[in-house]
Amino acid sequence: MILNYAQLARISGMTHEVAAIIQDQIGRKAFFMLGAKDLVSTEKSLRFKIGRNAKSVSHVEVTLDPSDTYTVRFIRLRAGKTTVIADVSDVYVDSLHSVIEQHTGMYTSL
């Protein structure tokens, strides 16, 4: 189930504007196509679990940098062991989809 930011904020009792902006910039359709769930927001980032994929990525974390670009971290979480598969920095908004597609093997649009 994909929650929009208003629902997420209501459940958590917090408002994290940066996470809401990141979610809007990635887009609802992309979240749906990735099978995104378990969205977790912090003051500067948004982390979510994605569906099964060829590259064994289980979580994606998008963090806003001071340079107004993003760092996208691709994580494998298996049996309590966390492995960072890739850490891509200096990602502009218009490149978010292509970076996610490249590192997960999943499409974010039709």
Give the tens place of pLDDT for each residue, 33-42. Answer: 999 999 999 8
For residue 96, name the pLDDT band (cuts at 50, 70, 90).
very high
The residue range of the domain holding 86 is 5-104
Domain total in the chain: 1
Provide the β-strand partners of residue 56. none
Q: Tell me what the mean pLDDT of segment 59-71 comes to.
A: 94
Measured CA to CA, the distance from residue 106 to residue 29 in angstroms comes to 13
Answer whether residue 100 is part of any domain: yes
Crossing angle between the packed helical segments 17-26 and 96-104, to the nearest 10 degrees:
70
Answer whether residue 110 is part of any domain: no
Question: Helices marked H in the chain — which ranges?
Answer: 5-12, 17-26, 28-34, 96-104
- pTM (predicted TM-score): 0.83
Query: Are 30 and 59 spatial neighbours (Cβ–Cβ below 8 Å)?
Result: no
Answer whether residue 109 is part of any domain: no
| Whole-number pLDDT of residue 14 | 47
